[in-house]
Amino acid sequence: MTTALQALRRIAAYAVITNDSDQVLLVRASAQSGTPGIWSLPGGAVDHGEHPNDTVVRETAAETGLSIAVTGLRDVLADMRALPHRGVTIHTDRVIYAARVRGGALRERVAQPTDLVRWFDLDECAQLPLRPFTAGALGLSAVAADQLPDEVPDFPSFHAVPGADGLHRAQRFAAYAVVTDRQQRVLLTRISPNYPGAGLWHLPGGGTDYGEQPGSALIRELVEETGQRGHLGELLGVASHRDAASLGPEGYPIDWHGVRAFYRVRVDRATKPKVYDQGGSTAEARWVTPSELGELGPEDVTEVTAEALRAAALPRMPRQV
């Protein structure tokens, strides 16, 4: 039974790295890992306050001896696995990048979570025991599946823990959307009082639940915050923001690190927005015309909203953003 296992969450970043021969770089988990002998994309856990883009460069160098340059964003996904021998169930939000090698030389590690690193043809990869997220990123079927928990643990999307210095820290993964309708209006939400960014215009979305995929979480949040039902579109980007002393309804400072994926979402039948999740971080929701959007300035919108709108390349965007 795995239901009594301690629930943990983490955010991680990985890279699909290919060479001139269209081979893929993989690393093998050592006996010190939770999945010994299983091959994976290079990468690992995002440190508090670290951008996933920096994580994958740092982790790849440590695991392979190679310096890489990120060339694109491929996917964002989540998975769960149970590790009964460690007494834990882990939910991991994974950011998958594309990358190329800048330099360095392959090296193997000793007494570390990974021990081997190799270039493989895709047909060779298909014969290896792969972590499911790695197989999915390569368009293959997983030979070795992770052990799943018997039940999805009850775990809050916001979870702050005290650090060694007494200051609470929180790392949260969330999904947001640039939502448009047939009239090219954009759906914005306003942050409630007593929440970080109170009064600023924000994007629909929010933190993902334990065991939930980012896209599913986004469509759920869209209904809860605005009453709109939309179709998930392309992944536009991933943002990382740290507020070293965020103040929210908890009433005490929190060293907050948010990693946010943002997508396009299309609403075919737009209705008057209604906030169903009363008492939360969303005070109101509104459809904004392109001209109204262009009248907003950087002081009117959240950082992730400005970044997502730039990525969406809308006809009119907030001034000086």
Question: End-to-end CA distance of the chain, in Å?
Answer: 52
Which residues, in sequence order, are CB contacts of 271 under 8 Å at separation 6+? 227, 228
How many separate domains does the chain show?
A: 2
Of the chain, the percentage scoring pLDDT greater than 70 comes to: 97
Indicate the residue among 122, 137, 152 that finishes a domain: 137
User: How far is it, in rounded angstroms, from Cα 259 to Cα 304?
Assistant: 10
Residue 186: inside a domain: yes
Residue 94: inside a domain: yes
Q: Are residue 208 and residue 300 in the same domain, yes or no?
A: yes
Residue 11: inside a domain: yes
Strand, helix or coil for residue 229 = coil
Residue 13: inside a domain: yes
Residue 162: inside a domain: no
Indicate the residue among 137, 158, 180 that finishes a domain: 137
Q: Are residue 223 and residue 98 in the same domain, yes or no?
A: no
DSSP assignment of 134-189, as one string?
A: HHHHTT---SSPPPPPSS-----SS--EE-TTS-EEEEEEEEEEEEE-TT--EEEE
**Burial environment of residue 288 by CB neighbours within 10 A (0 to 12, 13 to 18, 19 or more):** middle
Indicate the residue among 115, 137, 159 that finishes a domain: 137
User: How far is it, in rounded angstroms, from Cα 321 to Cα 229?
Assistant: 28
Give the pLDDT of residue 2. Answer: 44
Residue 14: inside a domain: yes
Digit-coded pLDDT (tens) for 114-129: 999 999 999 999 999 9
pLDDT interval class at 145 (50, 70, 90): low
Give the pLDDT of residue 175. Answer: 97
Q: Are residue 204 and residue 101 in the same domain, yes or no?
A: no
User: How far is it, in rounded angstroms, from Cα 47 to Cα 10?
Assistant: 9
Q: Are residue 52 and residue 175 in the same domain, yes or no?
A: no
pTM check: above 0.85: yes
Phi, psi of 207 (to 5 degrees): -65, 145
Residue-range definition of the domain harbouring residue 283: 168-312
Residue 109: inside a domain: yes
Give the pLDDT of residue 14. Answer: 98
Residue 36: inside a domain: yes
Q: Are residue 302 and residue 172 in the same domain, yes or no?
A: yes
Digit-coded pLDDT (tens) for 270-279: 999 999 988 8
Give the pLDDT of residue 154. Answer: 86
Q: Longest Cα pair distance anywhere in the chain, in angstroms?
A: 60
Mean pLDDT in the chain?
93
Report the 3 state secondary structure along 13-53: EEEEEECCCCCEEEEEECCCCCCCCCEECCEEECCCCCCHH
Identify the top-confidence range among 26-40, 176-190, 244-258, 301-315. 176-190
Residue 47 pLDDT > 50, yes or no? yes
Q: Are residue 301 and residue 172 in the same domain, yes or no?
A: yes
Q: Are residue 178 and residue 130 in the same domain, yes or no?
A: no
Digit-coded pLDDT (tens) for 203-243: 999 999 999 999 999 999 999 999 999 999 999 999 999 99
* Rounded-to-10 torsion of CA 203, 204, 208, 214: -90
160 within 8 A of 153, measured Cβ to Cβ: no
Q: Are residue 97 and residue 179 in the same domain, yes or no?
A: no
Residue 45 pLDDT > 80, yes or no? yes
Q: Are residue 178 and residue 117 in the same domain, yes or no?
A: no
Q: Are residue 177 and residue 108 in the same domain, yes or no?
A: no
Digit-coded pLDDT (tens) for 90-106: 999 999 999 999 999 99
β 24-29/66-83 pair status:
unpaired
Residue 160 pLDDT > 90, yes or no? no
38 within 8 A of 30, measured Cβ to Cβ: no
CATH code of the domain covering residue 121: 3.90.79.10
Give the pLDDT of residue 144. Answer: 63
Give the pLDDT of residue 191. Answer: 97
Q: Are residue 206 and residue 295 in the same domain, yes or no?
A: yes
Q: Are residue 201 and residue 131 in the same domain, yes or no?
A: no
